[in-house]
Structure 1
Amino acid sequence: MVTFMRDTVLPSETEYRSHRRASGPDGHDVPPVVERLRAEARARGLWNLFLPAESGLTQLEYAPIAELSGWSLELAPEAINCAAPDTGNMELVHLLGTEEHKGQWLEPLLEGEIRSAFAMTEPDVATATPPPSPPGSSGRATSWSSPAGSGGPAAPWIPGAPSSS
């Protein structure tokens, strides 16, 4: 991973930034350098290392790899398919998804074909924690979750809806 970072990822940052600058604020395409890095990471066996079922690594063994990917926050995590929120969403679908979910969402995420997102909104509340239920209420959830556009190919939404206690 150190060699990949030093010899391939870090030297690619200039190309990545140049593409982003040229694309401007409305440029939402994936810079070609990202696809090249992804192909190189796969060839080196540096793909989906965060998920023990895929990589064979424990979380403790993956931790220094995650730290190294932080040397290039814009490129490295995506290049090795270990970028948030995809990693957390893949873990959830891997652990809790039905076979249908896994086929529809997990496999394309693991292949890097789609991206995912996590979004949570609550009307009239500025935090992710809903207000306490008023006395005498049913104690039902007072918040709701809603997807927000990611600009990428369609992917799963993992809703978060805390309930009142």
Structure 2
Amino acid sequence: LKATISNCSNNYGPYQHVEKFIPRQITNLIDGVRPKLYGDGKNVRDWIHTEDHSSAVWRILTRGRIGETYLIGADGERDNLAVLREILRAFGRPEDDFDWVRDRPGHDRRYAIDSSKLRRELGWEPQHTDFAEGLAETIRWYRANEAWWRPAKEATEARYRAQGQ
């Protein structure tokens, strides 16, 4: 079997399901609902824009060596508290305008990605390196595409409520 493997951390951008961290916070704010933050908010992820993830996968598919594993990252490590505060700022809201909720069981503390092999061997680089601008673009997309995410929102929030989150 001819295969390559890629691993990535958390994505953000258009078309993410409303159950994911960033879209959930954005759509809650659009709906006038206070965002919710799990645990102490110190869980760290290497956030990568969906377009950068897709371009990296394409580069791996077209130029990667069979049998190799490539890690996809954008040097975008931030903890969830910092991400939520950035979203709140983008909405013109105070940084503490959210509710703390109990943490998810087994919530990993940190995802770290070293994408140096992908960059060195395949010449890939992320294009969306300004997180605040990428987040603003994502917020604009969710505001403009409510018909896309709205059908899944209530069922998603009902599942979170049942879990105390």
Q: Above 0.5 in TM-score?
A: no
TM-score, normalization by structure 1: 0.23
Compare the two structures and name the one with the higher strand fraction. 2
Q: Rg bigger for which structure?
A: 1
| Greater relative contact order (CA < 8 Å, ≥ 6 in sequence) | 2
Compare the two structures and name the one with the higher helix fraction. 1
